[in-house]
């Protein structure tokens, strides 16, 4: 992504955020409601709340951020009442807009290290690692069993071509069965991908995936245009697995600091529940049916 495009992302994101907040939400009076042509705050209202001149804020929305300090970005974030995910995303966009291609951060890791794979294999529930493009790049046997519906051959996950969670969600009709609340999962997938794209605008894999899905899926294109972001560390998800049926999963997700761009996820189920029974059944099925990829050379166990 060129520097000018990265700067333009800031303006698009700020415009999308001010469109979501109304004057009364931030304590501003509205004297000419019938004449307002924007659904949310006007630029001059954001500028007032942030303690900036209208001209200065307007230039920021137009992508001219080279001389903009982090304290100004912080003031704008507070004026727009951004949540933690939105605030982090705005700072990521600002930071990356100031980085020249020659100063690009170190390249994201492409594969899991043997120690990470050993950790996956030692866990007694589904566990996997994804990259910033949301490819499933490594997992344990139960992790592959859980996500077997994503593979062309569910019984033999392909090591050289990792499946992609976002592509599956929007381009594979099986996703509608696998995700009982598809709309919620689709929103989350796009918002999380947008967050990762903001962290590394040079990631060619992310930009190629966004281009592909924007061309092939109106559902994705509509969601991507909203500029929504999210943080994804813990929570509960519901699935309908073709082998074991409905299952509610608690998840814990964490980045791997030694492997930039890789994220580790562990799944658990509540004991003595139908989901626990389903997980036990999945484990028994996986033991005799799933053949996870051999721990190949890290050079091929990747997703660019």
For the record, the structure tokens of 84 come out as 């933690």
Q: Is the pLDDT of residue 105 over 80?
A: no
Percentage helix, strand, coil for the chain under 3-state DSSP, each rounded to 5:
50, 10, 40
Residues 244 and 118 in one domain: yes
Claim to verify: residue 12 and residue 58 sit in the same structural domain:
yes
271 shares a domain with 191: yes
pTM of the entire structure? 0.87
Query: pLDDT band at 8, cuts 50/70/90?
Result: confident
Q: Are residues 142 and 278 in the same domain?
A: yes
Of the pLDDT bands very low, low, confident and very high (cuts 50, 70, 90), residue 297 is very low
Which pLDDT belongs to residue 304?
42
Q: What is the pLDDT of residue 35?
A: 64
Do 90 and 76 touch, CB atoms closer than 8 A?
Answer: yes
pLDDT for residue 38: 72
Question: What does the pLDDT average to over 115-142?
Answer: 95
Residue ending a domain, among 73, 103, 133, is 103
CA-closest candidate to residue 244, choices 265, 225, 269, 219: 269
* 171 plus 252 within the same structural domain: yes
CA distance 175 to 181: 10
pLDDT digits (tens, 9 = 90+) for 165-184: 999 999 999 999 999 999 99
Q: How confident is the model at residue 203 (pLDDT cuts 50, 70, 90)?
A: confident
160: number of Cβ within 10 Å: 10
Residue where one domain finishes, among candidates 103, 130, 160:
103
Residue 296 in domain = no
Same domain assignment for residues 254 and 125: yes
**Residue 160 and residue 261 share a domain:** yes
Please check whether residues 159 and 271 belong to one and the same domain.
yes
- Split into its structural domains, the chain has a count of 2
Which domain CATH number covers 133?
Answer: 3.30.450.180
pLDDT of residue 101: 56
Asked if residue 80 belongs to a domain, the reply is yes
CATH number at residue 62: 1.10.260.40
Residue 295, domain member (yes or no): no
Range of the structural domain that residue 13 is part of? 3-103
- Residue 272 in any domain: the answer is yes
Indicate whether 95 belongs to any domain. yes
CB count within 10 Å of CB 192 equals 22
How many CB atoms lie under 10 A from the CB of residue 254? 11
Reply yes or no on whether the pLDDT at 228 is more than 60.
yes
Percentage of the chain exceeding pLDDT 90: 68
The band of 156, judged by pLDDT with boundaries at 50, 70 and 90, is low
Residue that terminates a domain, selected from 103, 123, 146: 103
- 294 phi and psi angles, rounded to 5 deg: -60, 150
Q: What average pLDDT score do residues 204-208 get?
A: 92
pLDDT of 277-290, one tens digit each?
999 999 999 999 88
Q: Is the dihedral of CA 16, 19, 24, 29 positive or negative?
A: positive
Dihedral of CA 228/229/234/240: which sign?
Answer: positive
Average pLDDT over residues 263-275: 97
Indicate whether 301 pLDDT > 50: no
pLDDT at 157 (0 to 100) = 59
pLDDT higher than threshold 50 for residue 205: yes
89 and 122 inside one domain: no
138 shares its domain with 75: no
Burial of 129-153, coded b for 16+ CB within 10 Å and e otherwise, reads bbbbbbbbbbbbbbbbbbbbbbbee
In the predicted model, what is the mean pLDDT of residues 43-57? Answer: 94
Asked if residue 72 belongs to a domain, the reply is yes
241 falls within a domain: yes
300 belongs to a structural domain: no
- pLDDT above 70 (res 247): yes
97 with 118, same domain? Answer: no
For the chain, give the percent of residues with pLDDT over 70: 86
Integer Cα distance of 213 and 211 in angstroms: 6
What would the mean pLDDT of 124-152 be, rounded to a whole number?
A: 94
Highest average pLDDT, of 150-154, 161-165, 210-214, comes from 210-214
Q: Which residue has the higher pLDDT, 296 or 149?
A: 149
Q: Do 95 and 172 sit in the same domain of this protein?
A: no
Asked whether the CA dihedral 304, 197, 139, 181 is positive or negative, the reply is: negative
């Amino acid at each position: 992504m060129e520097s000018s495009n990265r700067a333009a992302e800031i303006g698009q994101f700020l415009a999308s955020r001010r469109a979501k907040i109304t004057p009364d939400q931030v304590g501003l009076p509205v004297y000419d409601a019938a004449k307002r042509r924007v659904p949310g705050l006007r630029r001059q209202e954001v500028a007032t709340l942030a303690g900036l001149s209208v001209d200065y804020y307007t230039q920021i929305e137009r992508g001219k951020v080279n001389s903009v300090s982090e304290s100004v970005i912080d003031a704008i974030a507070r004026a727009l009442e951004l949540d933690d995910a939105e605030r982090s995303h705005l700072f990521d966009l600002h930071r990356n807009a100031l980085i020249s291609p020659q100063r690009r951060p170190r390249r994201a890791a492409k594969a899991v290290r043997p120690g990470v794979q050993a950790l996956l294999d030692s866990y007694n529930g589904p566990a996997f690692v994804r990259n910033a493009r949301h490819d499933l790049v490594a997992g344990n046997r139960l992790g592959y069993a859980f996500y077997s519906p994503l593979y062309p051959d569910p019984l033999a996950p392909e090591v050289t071509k990792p499946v992609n969670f976002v592509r599956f969600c929007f381009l594979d009709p099986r996703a509608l069965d696998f995700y009982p609340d598809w709309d919620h999962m689709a929103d989350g997938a796009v918002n999380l991908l947008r967050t990762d794209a903001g962290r590394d605008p040079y990631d060619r894999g992310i930009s190629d995936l966004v281009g592909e899905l924007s061309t092939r899926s109106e559902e994705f294109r509509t969601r991507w245009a909203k500029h929504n972001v999210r943080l994804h560390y813990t929570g509960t998800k519901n699935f309908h697995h073709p082998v074991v049926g409905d299952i509610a999963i608690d998840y814990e997700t964490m980045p791997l600091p030694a492997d930039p761009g890789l994220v580790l996820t562990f799944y658990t189920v509540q004991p003595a529940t139908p989901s626990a029974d389903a997980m036990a059944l999945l484990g028994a099925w996986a033991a005799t049916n799933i053949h996870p990829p051999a721990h190949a050379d890290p050079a091929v166990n990747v997703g660019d």
